[in-house]
Every structure is written in structure tokens, then in C-alpha cells.
Structure 1
Amino acid sequence: MMQEHDNEGVRFRQIAEITNDYTPPADGCNTYKVTFAMLQEFEQDLHLHIHLENNILFPAAEKLESEFC
């Protein structure tokens, strides 16, 4: 799972780079603007999800596993 999290981090850094940090072109239509905003929100949600798994869920699961094995 940790490798998958790292891979997604790389993927979204690339997306942010090619979208100029989710900045739509000045002449972009509303759909373009909404899509970029939703993509940026998804990235933020993904970072929170990864943080919760890496720093809360996984350590707790490892602790439980060590107690029962």
C-alpha cells in the first residue's frame, strides 16, 4: 500500500505540473474550470486519505497484528 501511495503522489504532482497547478486557461469554459477545481479537490482528499492510512490505520493494524501473532 505504501508504494501505491507513493505512486499516486507522483501521479498527482505530474497532473499539477501539466495543469499549471490546476489553473485553467483564461479563455477556458466553465466545464474546464469546474473540472480543474474538482481535480484539485480530489487531490486534496486523496492526500488526507493517504495521511490517515499511513499515520493512523496502518500503525494501528501493525500493532494489533504484533499483539496477536
Structure 2
Amino acid sequence: MAEHDNEGERYRTIDGLTNHYTAPADACDSYRLILKQLHDFEKALHEHIHLENNIIFPRAIELEKKSVR
């Protein structure tokens, strides 16, 4: 879970440094593309973290408890 916290902090920093993934008016297409890709990656990362924290990890813990009995 600490890994998830670290990644959240990392992307909060990137979000702040990039003005919420907003390219300057005079930015080239490559810069705009990388900002879009970073933003898309962050959204996907949050979805995966949610799935792990709220579905996969609790289910694994439940299965582990059942197998120990």
C-alpha cells in the first residue's frame, strides 16, 4: 500500500508541475502529446490502484484466511 501512496504523491507533483497537464499556448505537438499520455497514464494508474486496494487485496486476504483454517 505504501507504493500506492508514493505513486499518488508522484503524480500530484507532476500534476502541479504541468499546471494540471495543460500545455502552454505555444507548445509543440510533441509536448502536448506527452502531457496527454501522462494524464492518461495517471488515470489508468488510479484505476488500477483502486482495483488492487478495494477488490484484489481484500479478496486475497479473505482467501488466505480461509486457507489457513
TM-score normalised over the length of structure 1 = 0.97
Alignment size in residue pairs: 68
Query: Residue 21 of structure 1 aligns with which residue?
Result: 20
Using the size of structure 2 for normalisation, the TM-score is 0.97
- Structure 1 outlier segments of 4+, above 4 Å: none
Q: 2:42 maps to what in 1?
A: 43
Alpha-carbon offset, residue 40 of structure 1: 0.2
CA RMSD of aligned residues (A): 0.4
Gaps of 5+ in 1: none
What is the Cα deviation at residue 20 of structure 1? 0.2
The residue aligned with 1:67 is: 66
Letter paired with 1:10? E
How far apart are the structure 2 equivalents of 1:48 and 1:35? 20
Give the equivalent residue in structure 1 for 2:7. Answer: 8
Task: Determine what percentage of the aligned residue pairs are the same residue.
Answer: 54
